[in-house]
């Protein structure tokens, strides 16, 4: 672990966290040697990426096939000044300006059954900042199969949920075995999203990823569910479903038909 020696500039850059017992020099080296991939550079992703980069996560992968639209800027502040640019490229530009220590890998595409396992394989942690059920189930299943930790979060209006899935813990499918049929739960486009909700939960995702890299306590087998209107935060125990088709090991490969409609795996 100690083959990286912090430079004088890095000692200054990370001074506020180097003095913390939870991070220190050893933790900083761990962060600089770690690789995190953020899938989706929208509301959650914009917030998560900023703090992963600030903390000095050594390599950050950014996956997004969309381009920046004016309706995004109410919450996706990382993309300021980049209208029309691919979101992964735009986010990478921010990271490079903020912290030259961070290597950024841009994937200007969306994840699918054919590319997801190859994309995530080299990373230590995957941060799910996508905005649709098929991508969320796909990332869960791919991470379980590849044994890569996944930090999940999803938001709607003032509501949000977050949980961290690690090998052998309960997975997303243990909590929600199926997605709602299209049209039964409104999307952010239909029901709205408070910009602050994506900010808060995206930063919490970065917190989870950083703690995971440092070996600190994470939301394993726990889901934090919060209503930011009432500021009620519930920490819910979640349990592994022995019949879960994915984390029980029954299903070993991703199949195209598992990521349509309700994302059910028979």
Partner 1 sequence: MKIVYPIILAAVTRKKEEEVEFSGDVEALINFLCEKYKGLKKVLYNKEGFNKFINIYVNNEDIRNLNGFETEVKANDTVKFIPAIAGG
Half-sphere exposure of 22 (CA within 13 A, CB side): 12
Which candidate, 149, 88, 152, 146, places its Cα nearest to that of 121?
Answer: 146
> Does residue 196 bind partner 1 (CB under 8 A)?
no
Sequence-distant (≥ 6) Cβ neighbours of residue 93 within 8 angstroms? 82, 85
Per the annotation, the verdict on 188 as an active-site residue is yes
> Does residue 182 bind partner 1 (CB under 8 A)?
no
Question: Which position among 11, 83, 216, 236 is part of the footprint of partner 1 (CB under 8 A)?
Answer: 236
Minimum CB–partner distance for residue 230 and partner 1 (Å) = 8
Question: Which position among 239, 250, 257, 261 is part of the footprint of partner 1 (CB under 8 A)?
Answer: 239
Which residues within the stretch 97-126 sit at the binding site for partner 1 (CB under 8 A)? none
> Does residue 141 bind partner 1 (CB under 8 A)?
no
> Does residue 56 bind partner 1 (CB under 8 A)?
no
Structure tokens at 224: 């934090």
Structure tokens at 250: 């029954």
Question: Which position among 140, 153, 164, 258 is part of the footprint of partner 1 (CB under 8 A)?
Answer: 153
Instruction: Output phi, psi for 198, to 5 deg.
Output: -65, -35
Q: State the pairing for strand pair 222-227/59-63.
A: unpaired
Minimum CB–partner distance for residue 113 and partner 1 (Å) = 18
Q: Which of 129, 143, 174, 188 is an active site residue?
A: 188
Spacing of C-alpha 192 from chain mean position: 21
Question: Which position among 131, 142, 213, 259 is part of the footprint of partner 1 (CB under 8 A)?
Answer: 131
What 8-state DSSP symbol labels residue 166? -
The set of catalytic residues is 188
């Amino acid at each position: 672990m100690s083959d990286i020696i912090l430079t004088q500039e890095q000692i200054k850059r990370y001074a506020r966290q180097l003095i913390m017992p939870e991070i220190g020099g050893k933790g900083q080296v761990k962060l600089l040697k770690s690789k995190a991939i953020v899938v989706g550079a929208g509301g959650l992703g914009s917030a998560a990426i900023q703090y992963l980069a600030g903390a000095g996560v050594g390599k950050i992968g950014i996956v997004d096939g969309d381009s920046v639209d004016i309706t995004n800027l109410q919450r996706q502040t990382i993309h300021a000044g980049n209208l029309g640019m691919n979101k992964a490229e735009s986010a990478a530009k921010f990271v490079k300006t903020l912290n030259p220590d961070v290597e950024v890998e841009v994937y200007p595409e969306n994840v699918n059954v054919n590319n997801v396992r190859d994309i995530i394989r080299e990373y230590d942690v995957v941060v799910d900042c996508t905005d649709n059920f098929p991508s969320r189930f796909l990332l869960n299943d791919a991470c379980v199969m590849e044994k890569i930790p996944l930090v999940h979060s999803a938001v709607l209006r003032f509501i949000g949920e977050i949980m961290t899935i690690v090998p052998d813990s309960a997975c997303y499918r243990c909590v929600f075995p199926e997605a709602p049929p299209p049209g039964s739960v409104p999307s952010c486009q239909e029901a709205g999203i408070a910009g602050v909700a994506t900010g808060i939960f995206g930063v919490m995702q970065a917190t989870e990823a950083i703690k995971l890299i440092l070996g600190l306590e994470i939301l394993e087998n726990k889901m934090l569910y919060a209503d930011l209107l009432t500021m009620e935060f519930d920490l819910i125990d979640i349990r592994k479903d022995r019949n879960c088709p994915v984390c029980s090991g029954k299903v070993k490969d991703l199949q195209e038909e598992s990521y349509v409609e309700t994302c059910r795996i028979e």
